[in-house]
Amino acid sequence: MRPIVVAANPSHDQVQTYFCNIWYDSLTKTQKSERHREGQTEAPYVRLRTLILIRWVAVSGQFVSILVVHFWLGFSLDLEPLLGAVVLSATINLMATLLRPADFRLSDSKAALFLAYDVIQLAFLISLTGGLENPFAILFLVPAGISATILGLRSTAALAALVIVCATIVAFLHQPLPWIGNAPALPKLYLLALWIALVLGTLFITAYAWRVASEARRMSNALGATQIALSREQSVSALGALAAAAAHQLGTPLATIAVVSRELERDLPHDSQYLEDARLLVSEVARCREILGRLSALSEGEVDAPYGRLLVSGLAETAAAPHRRDGIKLEVIAKPTEGSSSTEPSAPRLAEILHGLGNVIENAVQFCHERVEITVSWNEQFVTMEVLDDGPGVTPSVLVRLGEPYVSSRRKSGRMGLGVFISKTLLERTGASVSFFNGHKYGARIVISWPRDVLEALDADQPDAKVNV
């Protein structure tokens, strides 16, 4: 984690930088986790207890199946090697349970080895009971499917390859299928079809399950980053409220101290040994009042009732203010929709709106040549904010997926592709719909629209109490 230094008397920019650093470090951890899940690195993520439980289920099923087939159905099985393989798996499972704590986690490669043993043990059992002619050969799909949901891409691919190799070996090297009397002779073409079906099933189930699990992990990581971003905004706002409360509470006693210290300074004779102390007291009181003034500036417009809600054009101006740059014309245009005579609505200064809209504006400023235009319009039904820049626009391949996590045209430059996703998620949390387009002539165009009644009903303290997203 990068070192973070906060001054004793923090300014608003220093406070913002402090929380931005925390957010950056958290997102970096999220990115490392994402790379691990994609199979790029190894880290302890798979819970051993989960794999042990799965193996106990498999061992119990194998034990019961062997006994039922041999003693109840009357098929002749070679019990010693079959039960020996089952007992070996149970012994390994028991040792893992006793030697490792309940919360122990395996690295990606060790978890893959754990499942690889299950594949080899199953192949051994199947080879002694008819090979691919055995209906239980379909169980080869189970370890491959499990690996696809909990392991990285490389481990999953390696385990799928092991399943295919074991199935191929079992197809050629196996004992006759246990049967009462003469076993049925299955055509070689049918056995080939069984092998092909098993291979295709392994590939399809593994690929599909890994893809779905990967998307779920990506979404979970992205939503976690969204919560971090929202928490940063709320922390800054809470710090401002705390500063305002401290300034208010300390103002009166400091004023009293200032009056008393000035009277002492005035009444003391010029040759008094306490005169310098009185003057020092006056200067320190003035310094304390100056510090409280700076702290109060942190909460300017945040906690005072007249500024708790803003007109939507003022909200856009507030979100755009930190992103104004020399050489970039950032303009906010406010007007009612053509044909509408409704008054301009107001909205609370929610962290979700300010951060989400601010992130959209920041992206527009980064990609524009010299102009970004924010058009705020409203009528009786809707409130719309449209952000348009004069940049190169978005490539069609990225545009169709824009708003999804980890989608960016600048991934090669180290960007995570989470900014637009975070903005979209936070804005939708307030009841907005967010759409992405390319401009008619140039640039990118982002349209954010709220139902007017939903936006006006938002509460600054509990946004979700008014909105059902």
Question: So what's the pLDDT on residue 248?
Answer: 63
pTM greater than 0.85 (yes/no): no
Residue 383 pLDDT exceeds 90: yes
Residue 6 pLDDT exceeds 60: no
Looking at residue 267, its amino acid is: D
Q: How far is CA 48 from the centre of its chain?
A: 24
pLDDT in tens, 226-255: 566 556 555 555 555 556 566 666 777 877
Mean pLDDT value of segment 110-127: 87
Strand 371-378, strand 329-336: pairing: parallel
- Tally of CB atoms within 10 A around 38: 14
Angle at the Cα of 157 from the Cα atoms of 153 and 162, rounded to 5 degrees: 150
Residue pair 442/373 in contact (Cβ under 8 Å)? The answer is no
Question: So what's the pLDDT on residue 229?
Answer: 58
Enumerate long-range contacts of 152-156, CB under 8 Å, 24 or more apart: 152/36, 152/37, 152/38, 152/39, 152/40, 152/42, 152/108, 153/38, 153/39, 153/210, 153/214, 154/39, 154/108, 155/39, 155/108, 155/109, 155/111, 155/112, 156/39, 156/206, 156/210
Q: Alpha-carbon distance 451 to 468, whole Å?
A: 12
Mean pLDDT value of segment 444-461: 85
Angle at the Cα of 333 from the Cα atoms of 330 and 336, rounded to 5 degrees: 160
Question: So what's the pLDDT on residue 44?
Answer: 43
Residue at 358 is within a domain: yes
Q: Alpha-carbon distance 106 to 15, whole Å?
A: 39
* CA dihedral of residues 368, 373, 378, 382 (deg, nearest 10): 0
Residue pair 403/435 in contact (Cβ under 8 Å)? The answer is no
pLDDT in tens, 344-382: 999 888 877 888 898 889 888 888 888 999 999 999 999
Mean pLDDT value of segment 278-289: 83
Length of the chain: 469
348: phi then psi, degrees, rounded to nearest 5: -75, 155
Burial of 362 (0-12, 13-18, 19+ CB in 10 A): middle
- Describe the chain by its helix, strand, coil percentages, rounded to 5: 65, 10, 25
- Please tell me the total count of domains within the chain: 2
Q: The CATH number of the domain where 325 resides is what?
A: 3.30.565.10
| End-to-end Cα, the chain, rounded Å | 35
Residue 217 pLDDT exceeds 80: no
Q: Alpha-carbon distance 160 to 422, whole Å?
A: 35
Question: So what's the pLDDT on residue 32?
Answer: 45
Residue 31 pLDDT exceeds 50: no
Tokens representing 305 are 């009732």
Q: Which of 169, 186, 203 is the last residue of a domain?
A: 186
Sequence-separated (6 or more) residues with CB below 8 Å from residue 441: none
Q: Which of 156, 186, 216 is the last residue of a domain?
A: 186
Q: Alpha-carbon distance 437 to 445, whole Å?
A: 5
Residue at 412 is within a domain: yes
Mean pLDDT (the chain, rounded): 76
Question: Do 461 and 315 belong together in one domain?
Answer: yes
Residue at 63 is within a domain: yes
Mean pLDDT value of segment 428-445: 86
Burial of 325 (0-12, 13-18, 19+ CB in 10 A): exposed
- Tally of CB atoms within 10 A around 305: 6
Residue 49 pLDDT exceeds 80: yes
Helix, strand or coil for residue 226?
Answer: helix
Residue at 136 is within a domain: yes
Question: So what's the pLDDT on residue 40?
Answer: 40
Q: Alpha-carbon distance 248 to 299, whole Å?
A: 12
Tokens representing 367 are 């990609």
Among 423, 357, 419, which Cα is nearest to 27's?
A: 419
DSSP 78-131: -HHHHHHHHHHHHHHHHHHHHHS-TT-EE-HHHHHHHHHHHHHHHHHHHHTTTG
Q: Which of 162, 186, 210 is the last residue of a domain?
A: 186
Question: So what's the pLDDT on residue 372?
Answer: 92
Q: Look up the domain containing 444 and give its range.
A: 308-465
Name the pLDDT band for 443 (thresholds 50, 70, 90).
confident
Question: So what's the pLDDT on residue 181?
Answer: 67
Question: Do 177 and 42 belong together in one domain?
Answer: yes
Among 391, 388, 423, which Cα is nearest to 405's?
A: 423
106: phi then psi, degrees, rounded to nearest 5: -95, 150
Distances (CA, A) of 434 to 149, 401, 445: 32, 13, 11
Among 124, 51, 116, 113, which Cα is nearest to 85's?
A: 124
Residue at 69 is within a domain: yes
Q: How far is CA 41 from the centre of its chain?
A: 18
Residue 176 pLDDT exceeds 50: yes
DSSP 334-363: EEEPTT--PPPPEEE--HHHHHHHHHHHHH
Residue at 211 is within a domain: no
Range list of H helices, 268-311: 275-298
Residue at 93 is within a domain: yes
Ranges 195-199, 347-351, 387-391: which has the least confidence: 347-351
Residue at 409 is within a domain: yes
Question: So what's the pLDDT on residue 387?
Answer: 93
Sequence-separated (6 or more) residues with CB below 8 Å from residue 321: none
